[in-house]
Amino acid sequence: MGKSENIPLPAVRRLSLYLRQLEAYADENHRTISSRQLGEVLGLSDAQVRKDLAYFGQFGHPGIGYRVPELIQRVRRILGTDKLSRVLLVGAGNLGRALIAFRGFQKRGFELAAVFDKDPDKVGQMTDGPNRLKIWDLSEMPAIVRKHSIRVGILAVPASAAQQVAEEMVAAGIRGILNFAPVPLQVGPDVSVASVDLAIHLEQLSFELNSVAP
Amino acid sequence: MGKSENIPLPAVRRLSLYLRQLEAYADENHRTISSRQLGEVLGLSDAQVRKDLAYFGQFGHPGIGYRVPELIQRVRRILGTDKLSRVLLVGAGNLGRALIAFRGFQKRGFELAAVFDKDPDKVGQMTDGPNRLKIWDLSEMPAIVRKHSIRVGILAVPASAAQQVAEEMVAAGIRGILNFAPVPLQVGPDVSVASVDLAIHLEQLSFELNSVAP
């Protein structure tokens, strides 16, 4: 049992958003930020921001607000992204290759350490781009997971293969799956799954457009 | 001014999640669903579900719950996805090609109608896969937006080009942008932006893993 038990999930989600806002402030060389400023862009009240950060034992300094570099470090420590952690990717198709090229992961504390596919034409090849990685066969996953102490995997395979591959990932020792396949995954209670639903954002845009214009 | 004015944004977000759950029930041929069942998978109380749906004038039937096909239709109508709407895509790189191949959009009421790029080597080519589309030059966007009455565009270009391309999309008549570039976009108040932050989900997984294991 861990520290997240009594913290509402939405507060955890907002931590990532606070971190984005803090990093934007740091990029502009601001040294402090008020709870109002931290909440403004996110549409949250200053009271909500203070309450969220208090869950994690973070309190602003009266008359100063939060010290930006300090709070960035603390939020990263809470999220577990203060140290670079290695993740693997299964699926070297178009989406997989886009994810390999995506620079945002490294910036956020994640290093893509290994790529897997089951297509014999792809296995053994190197990926393109600046972050060149060898593509391994799925059967190599358990050994590589152990060797690099990898706990998180990104699943970017077709929907029809997703459940089977997820089970292989879990068997190999993966404990967190970022799922891009548009199907729900059945995994044990000791495995966390975050699903990226690309269509959900389009629905939200659709709602907004239908609301403001007849 | 429209109907969304008094509805909290999180309730709108949850509509998409209710819709997923309803569709899963419909796939299993369930005809009714209770507010408890609707909230269960999402970790929401039945009271929260009833409150959310009441914002949109949807009420369950005492002793029956919600009728699944009826509620699906109503939620789609609220979201504006009951009719197929055409969207465009800018950026025919790896991510763009993955999005073209993604079948989930059509299932959710979105038809990818046109693809744009500014790379002369790509312009004029056809995309691969079952959904073959011609890649147009960015300069053709205003005419195509008008011709197909497109209001939503997906932005899948490198971060360095995103702001410039977003401005061209707005000038062409686009009113909603699904942004995959890892940079915030500056657009006017009459344009909605939804940003897909791929790293945020990894952070959430990282938090969960750090919370349950030492």
Instruction: Determine which of B42, B145, B197, B210 to mutate to test the interface with A (most A C-beta atoms within 10 Å).
Output: B210
d(Cα B164, Cα B177) in Å, to the nearest integer? Answer: 13
Scanning B47-66 for CB atoms below 8 A from A yields none
**Chain A / chain B CB contacts < 8 angstroms:** 191
> Pick from B98, B197, B202: which is nearest to A152 by CB?
B202
Three-state SS at A86: strand
Per residue in A55-109, pLDDT (tens digit) is 888 888 888 899 999 999 999 999 999 999 999 999 998 889 888 887 778 888 8
Q: Which of B79, B52, B81, B80 is nearest to B66 (CA)?
A: B52
Does position B138 have pLDDT exceeding 90, yes or no? yes
Tokens of A9: 């999930």
B33, β-bridge pairs: B66
Per-residue pLDDT reduced to its tens digit, B58-112 = 888 888 899 999 999 999 999 999 989 999 999 998 889 888 887 778 888 899 9
The ranges assigned to domains in chain B are 3-77, 85-199
On the question of pLDDT at A4 being above 80, the answer is no
Query: Distance between CA A65 and CA A167 in Å, rounded?
Result: 46
A191 touches chain B (CB under 8 A): no
Q: Is the CB of B101 less than 8 angstroms away from the CB of A94?
A: yes
**B136-161 average pLDDT score:** 95
Classified by CATH at the fold level, domain A3-78 comes out as: Arc Repressor Mutant, subunit A (1.10.10)
pLDDT band per the 50, 70, 90 thresholds, residue B10: confident
Q: Report whether pLDDT(A129) > 80.
A: no
Q: Is the ipTM of this complex over 0.85?
A: no
- Averaged pLDDT score across all residues of chain A: 88
Average pLDDT of the residues in A7-35: 88
Would you identify the CATH topology of the domain A85-199?
Rossmann fold (3.40.50)
- Scanning the structure block, which residue is given the tokens 């944004």? B9
Check pLDDT > 50 for residue A32.
Answer: yes
* CATH architecture assignment, domain B3-77: Orthogonal Bundle (1.10)
pLDDT above 90: percentage of residues in chain B: 51
| Tens-digit pLDDT profile for residues B16-50 | 889 988 988 898 899 999 999 998 877 788 998 99
Q: Report the pLDDT value the prediction gives residue B66, as an integer from 0 to 100.
A: 94
Residue B193 has pLDDT above 50, yes or no: yes
Contact B193, B201 (CB under 8 A): no
